[in-house]
Amino acid sequence: MPSAARRAAVALLFALLSALGGAVARAAPGAHAAAAAPAGRAKAVPVSPLRVVAVNAFRPISFADENGAAVGVVEDYFELVRRALDLPLRDVRVMSANDAEQALRDGEADIVIGIVQSEERTQNGVFTAPVYSTGAAIVTRHGAPAAPSFSDLKGKTLALREHHFAIPMLRQHWPQVALLESGVDSRSVLKAVASRRADAALVSIDASRVWLAQPEFASLVVSGFPADIQYEFAFQLQPGLAELVPRFNEAIAQITTEQRSTILERWLANSLRVKASRQGIPLATAMFGAVALSAILILAFALARMRRAHRAERERGFTGGR
């Protein structure tokens, strides 16, 4: 590992330890003010009030609460960026990923948040740098043969969301796996496995953790974590707002490790608090799990960003810096 990367990794480790040290206090109700305060305020962006669409994906990443408002990890990140850039908002609506893309194509939305970048979606708008990353999980029924990778699903049916960004890759590299596009959310995908319409489901790690805690999916289990797929959530802007992408990326880069930790602890703790109450898990144990998981997710996000930077550096070397 280059010395600069080694120093960055060491600095990140100390930052994570510092975040863990104060996590219990921040996890208490009303102790999340740090998540609402941007690390630094960039110059205000002179734009008209923006029409924002939040994707109703899944808890705790991006979803609609009981009042229909857009909430979640990605929404908290967007609020930090919005405040840093002093962006005016006209409204915020919640839609499925497909409806959000249609609104962008029809000119009825300016920004989509809680969306995963794909080649197909780049035709509808420009993407910022990722704000949150999570891996994928293969879910099967209890007692079924283990399926830690897509190679283990040859001759079987894999359920996934409609228009999933991984469909082209799966069809190219694993044509022996039958794909069943089942609904627009993770719950619909998991229901396909529970009802035996599919042998396995492809969802994010976060979605598997949340939904498999529900009684309706007690017959399902995570069978593997394919390294081929990474859910990288970003902000998608109208092509006419492409000039704002560098400003967004600057504001995203200014989000501190502690702010990320606070946001993740907040939403992971909320999810685990519900699970604890349903399954009789001590609250302190659930809160510790939220803290530990948030640290792991921050580290994974940082490592993914380092890998992207290293890959870009290698590509520049191959092209002679052109």
Residues 203-234: tens digit of each pLDDT: 999 889 888 989 999 999 999 999 888 999 99
What is the reported pLDDT for 225? 93
Half-sphere exposure of 128 (CA within 13 A, CB side): 30
Q: Are 15 and 21 in contact (CB under 8 A)?
A: no
pTM above 0.85, yes or no: no
Task: Please check whether residues 163 and 201 belong to one and the same domain.
Answer: yes
Strands 126-127 vs 70-71: parallel, antiparallel or unpaired: unpaired
Helix, strand and coil percent figures for the chain, each rounded to 5: 50, 20, 30
CA gap 79, 255 in Å, rounded: 11
Ramachandran angles phi, psi of 98, nearest 5°: -65, -45
Grouped pLDDT means (10 residues each) for the chain, 322 residues: 46 43 37 44 72 88 91 95 94 92 95 90 94 93 92 96 90 96 90 97 90 93 91 94 95 94 83 46 46 51 56 54 50
Task: Please check whether residues 262 and 305 belong to one and the same domain.
Answer: yes
Residue 190, token pair as written in the block = 């998991």
What is the reported pLDDT for 196? 96
Among 212, 230, 248, the domain-final residue is: 230
Task: Please check whether residues 226 and 264 belong to one and the same domain.
Answer: no
- Nearest by Cα to 85 from 244, 243, 238: 244
What is the reported pLDDT for 290? 46
76 is a domain residue: no
Say which residues have a Cβ less than 8 Å from residue 175's Cβ, sequence separation at least 6.
none
Task: Please check whether residues 224 and 279 belong to one and the same domain.
Answer: no
CA gap 235, 249 in Å, rounded: 10
What is the reported pLDDT for 306? 59
Note the maximum CA span of the chain: 60
Task: Please check whether residues 189 and 261 belong to one and the same domain.
Answer: no
Half-sphere exposure of 56 (CA within 13 A, CB side): 16
What is the reported pLDDT for 273? 46
Task: Please check whether residues 162 and 223 belong to one and the same domain.
Answer: yes
105 is a domain residue: no
- DSSP class of 62: B
What is the reported pLDDT for 299? 54
For 317, the domain range is: 1-35+257-322
Task: Please check whether residues 226 and 285 belong to one and the same domain.
Answer: no
- Nearest by Cα to 22 from 255, 284, 265: 265
11 is a domain residue: yes
- Nearest by Cα to 203 from 173, 182, 219: 182
Question: What does pLDDT average to over the chain?
Answer: 79
310 is a domain residue: yes
Task: Please check whether residues 225 and 174 belong to one and the same domain.
Answer: yes
73 is a domain residue: no
Task: Please check whether residues 177 and 215 belong to one and the same domain.
Answer: yes
Task: Please check whether residues 266 and 192 belong to one and the same domain.
Answer: no
Task: Please check whether residues 223 and 271 belong to one and the same domain.
Answer: no
Can you point out the beta strands (E) in the chain? 50-55, 63-64, 70-71, 89-95, 111-116, 126-127, 132-141, 157-160, 178-181, 200-204, 220-224, 230-237
Cα 54–82–20 angle (5° rounding)?
90
Number of domains in the chain: 2
79 is a domain residue: no
The CATH number given to whatever domain includes residue 225 is 3.40.190.10
First to last CA, the chain: 25
56 is a domain residue: no
What is the reported pLDDT for 274? 46
74 is a domain residue: no
Strands 70-71 vs 132-141: parallel, antiparallel or unpaired: unpaired
What is the reported pLDDT for 16? 45
